């Protein structure tokens, strides 16, 4: 089976790139987030990396990336790459967040910590 990965081209040298192995994500999601942010990675790279953390069972890693995706200023509205993105990518962000929080809510309710 082929390895899944995200390839992010470096801003200063488009011939070079950083590869994030989605089947074996780094322990520290903040390191991934720093690279994605510094290199102005496309939204799809953020989503795929966040989903990889969720698949690995790392809820905190998933939340770290999704919080940064949803934070004001992560993507500038005047950034041409953001403006031309397919609406389905933005919808995918919403779905990821909603599914994760609804699962989290059902778990906390099941163990008696919900409302």
pLDDT digits (tens, 9 = 90+) for 17-57: 999 999 999 999 999 999 998 888 888 888 889 989 988 98
Residue 44 and residue 7: Cα distance in Å, rounded? 11
pLDDT at res. 67: 82
- Confirm whether 13 is domain-assigned: yes
pLDDT at res. 80: 37
Whether pLDDT at 99 is above 70: no
Provide the number of structural domains found in the chain.
Answer: 1
Domain limits at 93?
Answer: 5-110
- Confirm whether 55 is domain-assigned: yes
Q: How is residue 60 written in tokens?
A: 């905190």
Whether pLDDT at 106 is above 70: no
pLDDT tens-digit profile of 52-90? 998 898 989 988 898 887 776 665 544 434 443 555 666
- Confirm whether 88 is domain-assigned: yes
Q: Rounded to 5 degrees, what are φ and ψ at 9? A: -75, 140
- Confirm whether 65 is domain-assigned: yes
Spell out the alpha helix ranges (H) of 1-115. 29-38, 43-55, 59-70, 80-83, 87-110
pLDDT at res. 49: 93
- Confirm whether 57 is domain-assigned: yes
- Confirm whether 83 is domain-assigned: yes
Whether pLDDT at 107 is above 60: no
- Confirm whether 115 is domain-assigned: no
- Confirm whether 39 is domain-assigned: yes
């Amino acid at each position: 089976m082929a390895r899944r990965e995200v390839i992010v081209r470096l801003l200063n040298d488009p011939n070079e790139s950083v590869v994030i192995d989605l089947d074996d994500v780094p322990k520290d999601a903040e390191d991934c987030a720093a690279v994605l942010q510094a290199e102005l990675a496309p939204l799809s790279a953020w989503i795929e990396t966040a989903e990889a953390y969720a698949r690995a069972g790392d809820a905190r890693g998933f939340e770290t990336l999704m919080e940064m995706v949803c934070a004001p200023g992560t993507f500038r509205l005047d950034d041409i790459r953001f403006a031309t993105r397919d609406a389905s990518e933005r919808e995918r962000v919403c779905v990821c967040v909603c599914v994760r929080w609804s699962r989290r809510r059902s778990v906390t309710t099941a163990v008696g910590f919900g409302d």
